[in-house]
Structure 1
Amino acid sequence: MCDDDARLGRRALFVTGAAAALTLGSVTFARGADDMHDAETRTVRGTLPPGSPDFVYVPVEVPDGVREIKVSYTYDRPSVPAGTPGNALDIGIFDQRGTDLGGRGFRGWSGGARTEFFIRADEATPGYLPGPIDAGTWQIALGPYTVAPQGLGYEITITLTYGEQAEPVEPTYPPERAKGRGRAWYRGDCHLHSWYSDGRRTPAEIAALAREAGLDFINSSEHNTHSAHAHWADVAGDDLLVMLGEEITTRNGHVVALGVEPGTFIDWRYRARDNRFGKFARQIRRAGGLVVPAHPHATCVGCNWKFGFGEADAIEVWNGIWTPDDEMALADWDSTLVASVRENGRGWIPAMGNSDAHRSPDPVGYPQTVVLADDLTREAIQEGIKAGRSYIAESKNVSLTFTASGGRGRQAGIGGRLEVDRDTPVTVRLEVTGAPRCTVRFVTDQGVLFTSAPLPVGGSGVVEWRTTPSYAAYVRAELRHEAAAGPLPGTPAAITNPIFLGRS
């Protein structure tokens, strides 16, 4: 074993036009291996100070004849004062094709979920991409997520194993269609994590839970890696559509790429101040996906959404178990609806809800987005989500029908517009099942204008309200459980997208 001291005195600082990055001195190996040994190991140590760049790269000179790369790492976790973040160090790797933003060199990322990984031609640690181990300069990517006042001391051990490479495995991907029911309401959960990032469940376990939750579709959304894409084909079926995506986890918020083409990788190494998000949002759409900012008011470091909603196709306003930050996300989204009224409802952004389930006991399908789509295909589901023909429900038990009618027999449903004159009487009607003792609230551009008595203990009921387009430019429905003590309303059982009222 050979030790290298990768102190900051041996660094080169460069700015890429996005975030600043730090490149340390290279780690070198012999130009191959003789008959006396088939592996070599190097260990590098260093310390990153507070205020380090978002990403630190450790170049590794990989010679010919390598069949496996293995990396392990540790770092210090000193005590810190109350309210001060401690050390957290993410890790990943890029191959000889380089670390250019959005380039082809990405080979895997595990964030802080793992302390070691390997890559071979035929197999790799979850989160990493199997494939050829070509000679050249590889880069171990360190992400100092937070750094304690004492600094972040780390140790990285790199082992190269020599020999003939295995045959690469051709990836297989799930089909883009399942056996649907034609135009119907389909239930889905589009924000899920398996052991291919920081989750603890296998794809098979997630699929089983999705079926138990009554879901028709799900979306793979691992943090900063598409390595799971090739591992869902065996669990998809006629009864479950599996779409492929990624949760792009930047330092200024997270965004779900929903339903991209298989093998699509979206980079995450930028902040809002770098003015790069629009480029990668467009890449998501070119790859056939939707751009969905996730948990925009979450309180974890780097989770709060800072990029604005100009590129969003939908907004995740309900993320897992309902918390005050979901209430903030809902209010923020409602403000975007009010702003869209000035444009006659054009360009409004629909809401959706997902579980963000990682491990037991996180429930898959709580909440779930219920979409009116022409069929159970990737394209049809995405079209329904983007059009706002959807509502969010806490479980498969909750179903609803929400309409507005007026004029000469005209009617509109969720995500639609009732085209009537501004003073035409309009009847808003909500039919509900599966929401015992929940209260119905009708929310408009003025706020909550109607609140019902609690539904019966059987959970079914019909609630109507009358208004005009001049009084309410749009109306959406919320089903709320009984409120606990405090100023906030009870947790939701369901939230609909709006129906716009009046002529466009």
Structure 2
Amino acid sequence: MGIAQECSKSETVSRFISHDEESLYIEVPVTVPAGTEQIKVKMEVIQEGAASSIIDLGVKDTKRIRGWSGGARTEFFIHQAKATPGYLHGELEAGEWAVILGAYKVATKGCTVILTIEYSPEELRWLKGDLHTHSVHSDGTFTLREKANIAESEGLDFLGLTDHNASSQNEAYPRDVNTLFIPGMELTTNKGHLNLFGVHDPIRDFRVNNMEELHSRLKEARENGAYISLNHPYCRNTGWRWDWDFDYDWVEVWNGPWREENQDAVDWWQEQLVLGKRLVAVGGSDAHRPHPHVVHGMPTTWVYSKSLKSSDILKSIEKGHVVLSYLPQGPFINLTCGNSMVGDVCEEKNQNVEIKVEDVQFSDVVKVISNHGIEQEVMVEEGQDQVELSWSVGNRLFYRVEVWRYSPEVKMRQMAALSNPIYFLNE
């Protein structure tokens, strides 16, 4: 999940091990290509005759032993952000590595080891996740491994670990799961909440009693490398009641199930865009415990990233390469203009703006919105599962897209998908 499997390359290497090599550590050279995101190795031992051989498994990178399974495993993976237990995740330096075969016990007739090595490259693609979640490390009931299992079952690639005023979750999360955990903290004050992303321990003291202390906490988080998101600013209970003149990067316009407070946040965001601000919109479920409506991935944040690594995902969010949908299954909005996508500033005024909205349903409404307000509304016809539109740029500052879907449960239309804008150099 999350790996660009269609671009992966694999090779198979065969190595006969003789009885005379028993007790030796045999290196099988492999060349790791530049730009590799993950390496996966599988070992098969073909026995010669009735007697069995026991072969241990490990790997060496260009500088050091990177991991060792002994006889406990016949396969492992190393990703930039996670790895099989016993192996070190991190950068995968290009060059000559070696799979290490420990010839612990070799039968008289020897054995043949067949290695299959798969290299998955960094590749720009849409990853989907939930940026705002809680666990037992604050007031949630989910363990981190339970959260990973839920994310995988829902088809999510990443989860933000945003426990209230805590950072212990960032040291405790499992590294041997398919789900990527993005380190974070929800800075929780009595007058509003902020997510601090990308740093394991962003601040030393969470207490904020005045604006001076808020500025101080955010300055510390920023100096430590954190990205800052303004959470659910119009929530009735925990909305933003500090002054609005403070340091932040993104705004969470969609928190949990769609409701009036989210619409208020989107309306405020639209006002900022009309004023000429380029503010990235994100979303998050705010899931704390099992709940019929507040669930992981509702909404889902889609991020166009070159790798399933926290730093790359956060850099892509900072660029505005973000689309939101109410479920991991979509709908999904692809908004482009020439070579530009959501979040970009498009200088190609001779190109048409184009959208392709996938996984829509009958009676869904697709809205095209600019700094002049709603420009187009298209209702999905029966039998359609996607909508494609094209129009000229004109003199607009930006275009963005919303999808609205009728909900029988609440008997009204609700937001089903939301794109960040493409911006234009018009005045």
The TM-score with structure 1 as length reference comes to 0.57
Q: Does 1:443 align with 2:369?
A: yes
Query: Is the contact between residue 196 and residue 202 of structure 2 (CA under 8 Å) also seen in structure 1?
Result: no
> How far has the Cα of 1:207 moved from its partner?
1.0
> How far has the Cα of 1:305 moved from its partner?
4.6
- State how many pairs are aligned: 312
> How far has the Cα of 1:281 moved from its partner?
1.9
> How far has the Cα of 1:502 moved from its partner?
3.6
Over 3 Å counting, the alpha-carbon distance change for 1:501 and 1:292 in structure 2 is same
- Deviation track 1:251-278 (CA, whole Å, cap 9, x = no partner) reads 1100011121x2444533224x432323
Amino acid across the alignment from 1:466:
W
Query: Is the contact between residue 313 and residue 349 of structure 1 (CA under 8 Å) also seen in structure 2?
Result: yes
Whole-angstrom distance in 2 between the partners of 1:177 and 1:399: 34
> How far has the Cα of 1:233 moved from its partner?
2.6
Whole-angstrom distance in 1 between the partners of 2:190 and 2:383: 45
Query: Is the contact between residue 333 and residue 418 of structure 2 (CA under 8 Å) also seen in structure 1?
Result: no
Percentage of pairs with the same residue: 23
Whole-angstrom distance in 1 between the partners of 2:400 and 2:357: 13
Query: Is the contact between residue 211 and residue 242 of structure 2 (CA under 8 Å) also seen in structure 1?
Result: no
Whole-angstrom distance in 2 between the partners of 1:317 and 1:489: 20
Over 3 Å counting, the alpha-carbon distance change for 1:180 and 1:379 in structure 2 is farther
Alignment partner for residue 253 of structure 1, among 192, 198, 202? Answer: 192
Aligned counterpart, 2:26: none
Task: Indicate the SS of the match to 1:204.
Answer: helix
Over 3 Å counting, the alpha-carbon distance change for 1:265 and 1:287 in structure 2 is same
Aligned counterpart, 2:359: 433
Amino acid across the alignment from 2:300:
Q
Task: Indicate the SS of the match to 2:228.
Answer: strand
Q: Does 1:298 align with 2:239?
A: no
Whole-angstrom distance in 1 between the partners of 2:136 and 2:121: 29
Over 3 Å counting, the alpha-carbon distance change for 1:427 and 1:247 in structure 2 is closer
Aligned counterpart, 1:277: 214
Using CA pairs below 8 Å that are at least 6 residues apart, which structure has the higher relative contact order? Answer: 2
Over 3 Å counting, the alpha-carbon distance change for 1:448 and 1:201 in structure 2 is same
Aligned counterpart, 1:496: 419
Query: Is the contact between residue 403 and residue 411 of structure 1 (CA under 8 Å) also seen in structure 2?
Result: no
Amino acid across the alignment from 1:229:
N
Over 3 Å counting, the alpha-carbon distance change for 1:309 and 1:220 in structure 2 is farther
Query: Is the contact between residue 420 and residue 502 of structure 1 (CA under 8 Å) also seen in structure 2?
Result: no
Task: Indicate the SS of the match to 2:253.
Answer: strand
Q: Does 1:213 align with 2:154?
A: yes
Aligned counterpart, 1:190: 131
Query: Is the contact between residue 182 and residue 197 of structure 2 (CA under 8 Å) also seen in structure 1?
Result: yes
Alignment partner for residue 475 of structure 1, among 386, 399, 405? Answer: 399
Whole-angstrom distance in 1 between the partners of 2:91 and 2:138: 25
Q: Does 1:308 align with 2:244?
A: yes
1:7-406 map, 5 Å = 182-234=123-175, 236-237=176-177, 239-260=178-199, 262-265=200-203, 267-271=205-209, 273-300=210-237, 302-308=238-244, 310-340=246-276, 348-361=278-291, 362-398=294-330, 400-405=332-337
Whole-angstrom distance in 2 between the partners of 1:274 and 1:242: 31
> How far has the Cα of 1:311 moved from its partner?
1.6
Query: Is the contact between residue 203 and residue 217 of structure 2 (CA under 8 Å) also seen in structure 1?
Result: no
Whole-angstrom distance in 1 between the partners of 2:298 and 2:334: 21
Unpaired segments of 5 or more residues in structure 1? 1-171, 341-346
Whole-angstrom distance in 2 between the partners of 1:287 and 1:395: 33
> How far has the Cα of 1:292 moved from its partner?
0.5
Whole-angstrom distance in 2 between the partners of 1:476 and 1:360: 33
- Deviation track 1:222-246 (CA, whole Å, cap 9, x = no partner) reads 1111122222035x53x32112111
Whole-angstrom distance in 2 between the partners of 1:498 and 1:306: 27
Whole-angstrom distance in 2 between the partners of 1:219 and 1:327: 23
The TM-score with structure 2 as length reference comes to 0.67
Amino acid across the alignment from 1:242:
F
Aligned counterpart, 1:412: 340
Unpaired segments of 5 or more residues in structure 2? 1-85, 93-119
Query: Is the contact between residue 222 and residue 246 of structure 1 (CA under 8 Å) also seen in structure 2?
Result: yes
